[in-house]
Amino acid sequence: MLDATAGDDLRVVLEVEGVTLSFGGVNALLNVSLQVENGSIYSIIGPNGAGKSSLFNVISGLYRPQRGSVLFKGQDLTLLPAHKIAPLGLARSFQQVELFKGMTVIENLLLGRHIHMRAGLFSGGLFWGKAREEELRHRQVVEKIIDFLEIEHIREKTVATLPYGLRKRLELGRALALEPELLLLDEPMAGLNQEETEDMARFILDINQERRTTLLLIEHDMGVVMDISDRVAVLNFGELLAAGTPHAIQEHPAVIEAYLGAEDSVFPEGRSGSRNIL
C-alpha cells in the first residue's frame, strides 16, 4: 500500500485500526486502517461498492465491526452507540438528504443543537429563566450558521419547497449546528451543478480554515478531491489500496486502474492538488 507520509508530528484526531466489517460472509471492509490529522481535510475515494459509506457507518457508530477499532481523540468508539458518539464532537451528513421536510430551515438547524440543550421539559415548555437564556444562545449559533452558509433568504421557508442544492447546503448546516471537531461528509457534491459544487467546495474550505474543523469526506468529483484535500485514501473492494497526498494518489497506477481503468479519464485536466479552483 502506498502511504506518502506527511506531517507525522501533527496530532491525530481519528484512528481507524484494522477494521473488518462483514455481511453474510461478504467483506464490506477488510483490515482497513487510516489516520486523520487534526485540522486536515481527508478524502476517501473509490468505485461504487468499495466500502466508503460502510466505513463512515462504522466511525459514526451505526455499524459495529467484527474486528478492529476506531479511536477519536484517543477514545475508543467501537462499542459506543451513535447517540453517544455525537456529543464527543463528531458529526456527519448523509449521501441522501435527511431533513424534516415539513419544518422550516431555521427549525431544522435548531434540531441540530439538541445535544447541547440542557433545559428540562417543564422550564423549556414555559420558556422562562435558564430555558429562555439557553434558547437565545442556540438561536445565536444558528443565525451565525445561516450567515456563514449564505441562506438568509430561505431561513423561514419550509424544506419541502427548497431546490435540491439548497437542501444539501442545509444538511451541511445542521451538521455544523452540533459544533463538531470532526465532520464526516458523505458525497456533499452529489447531484449538484457546477456552480453549486464550487460553492460547496468553498464552504468546506471555510469550515476547515475559519472554523478550524477537521473534515473526512467521501466524494466522487476528483477535481474537487484533488484541489481541497490534504490527504486521500483509496478503497477498493473493501480494502485500503492507497493513502497519501493528492499528488501521490493522482499518479499512482493501481489507483487509476482500480478507479476507472483509464489514466486520462480519472483526474480532470489542470487539477494538481492545489487549492486554486475557487
pLDDT digits (tens, 9 = 90+) for 115-168: 666 554 344 444 545 666 777 888 889 999 999 999 999 999 999 999 999 999
pLDDT digits (tens, 9 = 90+) for 63-81: 999 999 999 999 999 989 8
The number of CA neighbours under 13 Å toward the Cβ of 20 is 10
Q: Which CATH superfamily is domain 1-89+180-278 in?
A: P-loop containing nucleotide triphosphate hydrolases (3.40.50.300)
Residue 13: per-residue pLDDT: 96
pLDDT range class, residue 226, cuts 50, 70, 90: very high
* CA terminus-to-terminus distance, the chain: 32
CA dist 174 and 247 (Å) reads 32
CA dist 104 and 154 (Å) reads 9
Residue 124: per-residue pLDDT: 44
With beta carbons less than 8 A apart as the criterion, state whether 179 and 124 touch: no
Residue 6: per-residue pLDDT: 40
Q: Is the pLDDT of residue 232 over 70?
A: yes
Q: Is the pLDDT of residue 213 over 90?
A: yes
Q: Is the pLDDT of residue 264 over 60?
A: no
Q: Where are the strands (E) in the chain, listed by range? A: 2-3, 12-23, 26-37, 41-45, 67-72, 75-76, 90-92, 182-186, 214-218, 231-236, 239-244
Higher-confidence residue: 215 or 220? 215
Arithmetic mean of pLDDT, 265-272: 44
CA dist 211 and 108 (Å) reads 21
Range list for CATH 3.40.50.300 in the chain: 1-89+180-278
Q: Dig out the grid coordinates for 182 from the structure.
A: 470532526
SS3 35: strand
Residue 36: per-residue pLDDT: 97
pLDDT digits (tens, 9 = 90+) for 240-262: 999 999 999 988 888 877 765 54
Higher-confidence residue: 187 or 118? 187
Closest CA to 108 of 22, 37, 177, 47: 177
